[in-house]
C-alpha cells in the first residue's frame, strides 16, 4: 500500500501570514491590560506631567543632552521617562529645521500605545507632530512628524537606507535592557555613526540597566580626563503608591 501523499498548504489571504520567528509577534505583544491606575486622572494633562518624578530632572536631562553625545538614563518604572523625555527635547528645540526625535521600543504594541499617549498629551493628531512606524504600518508624516516612535527593527532598516540617520537629531533607545537582536545591532551601529556625526545625540533609557557598561561603551574619550567624557549617567527615582494589607480572620 502506497504511503499517503502530503498535501501542500498555501497561505490564504485573510489568514495569518507566514514569517520568520523574528517577525512574529509574541503573545505578550498583543495582550494589553485594559486597566490602568492613574490617581491623577482628575487633573489636567499639564498637571499630570508635572507630578511625574522625571519632571524635576527636566533641566538636568536637557543639560546632559546638550553637553554629551550619549546620556544613559536609569529610571524606575512609572517615572515618566518614556513619554516625557521626547517632549522635553521637542520643547527645547531639538526638532527644528526638519529634524526628528526618534524613540525606539522593542515591541510594536508599545510603540503604538506610547505614541498615542504622547500625541494625546500634546493635543495633536496621531500621525502628524507625533507618529509611529512599525512593520507594515507607517503612521507618520515625513514633513510634519517631529517625534517618531519606532521598533528597533525599523530603525535598523532606516540605517540601511540612510547610514548616518541624517534626519534625526536625537535617538532614544528605550527599554534597552531587553537586548533584542535588533537592539544590539542598533547600539553597535549608533556608536559608529556618532564618530561621523558629532551632533547626533543618543539616549539609552531603561528601568534595569547596567549603566556603567553602557557608559564605557559609548564614551569616545581617550584622553583619560573625565571632564572630556562624551557619555553621562543620570538616575531618576520612581514613585510609590499606598498599599493596603488585609489579613484573614482565623
Rounded Cα distance, 201 and 219, in Å: 12
Q: Please give the average per-residue pLDDT across 107-118, as a whole number.
A: 95
The x, y and z cell numbers of residue 36, run together, are 490602568
Q: How confident is the model at residue 34 (pLDDT cuts 50, 70, 90)?
A: very low
Residues in the chain, overall count:
250
Q: Which residues of 122-159 are buried (b: 16+ CB within 10 A; e: fewer)?
A: bebebbbbbbbbbeeebbbeeeebbbbbbbbbbbbebb
Chain CA centroid to CA 66, Å: 19
Residue 85, Cβ density class (10 Å: 0-12 exposed, 13-18 middle, ≥19 buried) = buried
Tell me the percentage of the chain whose pLDDT exceeds 70.
82
- Tens-digit pLDDT profile for residues 61-102: 999 999 999 999 998 888 899 999 999 999 999 999 999 999
Q: Quick one: pLDDT at residue 13?
A: 64
User: If pLDDT is split at 50, 70 and 90, which confidence band does 50 have?
Assistant: confident
Q: What is the mean pLDDT of residues 41-56?
A: 84
Structural domains of the chain in order of their starting residue, each with its CATH number = 60-236 (3.40.50.300)
Instruction: Please give the sequence-ordered ranges of beta strands (E in DSSP) within the chain, or none if there are none.
Output: 70-75, 100-105, 130-134, 137-139, 147-151, 168-173, 201-206, 231-236
- Between residues 170 and 35, the one the model is more confident about: 170
> pLDDT for 36-47, tens place per residue?
556 666 778 888
Q: Residue 7: which pLDDT band, with cuts at 50, 70 and 90? A: low
Query: Nearest 10 degrees: CA dihedral of 206, 21, 163, 175?
Result: 0
- Phi and psi angles of residue 45, each rounded to the nearest 5 degrees, phi first: -60, -45
- pLDDT(35) > 60: no
How many angstroms separate the CA atoms of 95 and 130, rounded? 11
User: 71 forms bridges with which residues in the sheet?
Assistant: 203, 232
Phi, psi of 176 (to 5 degrees): -65, -20
- Torsion angle in degrees (nearest 10) through CA of 59, 57, 120, 47: -100
From the list 132, 199, 138, the residue with the least C-alpha distance to 165 is: 199
Q: How confident is the model at residue 226 (pLDDT cuts 50, 70, 90)?
A: confident
Residue of 34 and 126 predicted with greater confidence = 126
Cell of 67: 553637553
Amino acid at each position: 500500500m502506497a504511503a499517503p501523499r502530503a498535501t501542500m498548504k498555501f497561505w490564504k489571504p485573510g489568514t495569518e501570514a507566514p514569517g520568520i520567528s523574528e517577525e512574529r509577534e509574541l503573545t505578550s505583544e498583543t495582550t494589553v491590560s485594559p486597566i490602568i491606575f492613574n490617581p491623577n486622572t482628575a487633573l489636567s494633562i499639564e498637571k499630570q506631567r508635572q507630578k511625574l518624578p522625571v519632571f524635576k530632572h527636566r533641566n538636568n536631562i536637557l543639560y546632559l543632552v546638550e553637553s554629551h553625545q550619549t546620556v544613559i538614563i536609569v529610571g524606575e518604572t512609572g517615572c515618566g521617562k518614556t513619554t516625557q523625555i521626547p517632549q522635553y527635547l521637542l520643547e527645547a528645540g531639538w526638532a527644528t529645521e526638519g529634524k526628528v526625535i526618534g524613540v525606539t521600543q522593542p515591541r510594536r504594541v508599545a510603540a503604538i500605545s506610547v505614541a498615542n499617549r504622547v500625541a494625546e498629551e500634546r493635543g495633536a493628531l496621531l500621525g502628524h507632530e507625533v507618529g509611529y512606524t512599525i512593520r507594515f504600518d507607517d503612521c507618520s508624516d515625513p514633513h510634519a512628524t517631529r517625534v517618531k516612535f519606532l521598533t528597533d527593527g525599523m530603525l535598523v532598516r532606516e540605517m540601511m537606507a540612510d547610514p548616518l540617520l541624517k534626519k534625526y537629531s536625537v535617538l532614544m533607545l528605550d527599554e534597552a535592557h531587553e537586548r533584542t537582536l535588533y537592539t544590539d545591532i542598533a547600539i553597535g551601529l549608533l556608536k559608529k555613526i556618532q564618530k561621523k556625526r558629532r551632533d547626533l545625540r543618543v539616549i539609552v533609557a531603561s528601568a534595569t540597566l547596567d549603566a556603567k557598561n553602557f557608559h564605557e561603551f559609548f564614551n569616545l574619550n581617550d584622553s583619560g580626563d573625565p571632564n572630556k567624557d562624551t557619555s553621562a549617567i543620570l538616575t531618576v527615582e520612581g514613585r510609590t503608591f499606598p498599599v493596603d494589607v488585609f489579613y484573614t480572620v482565623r
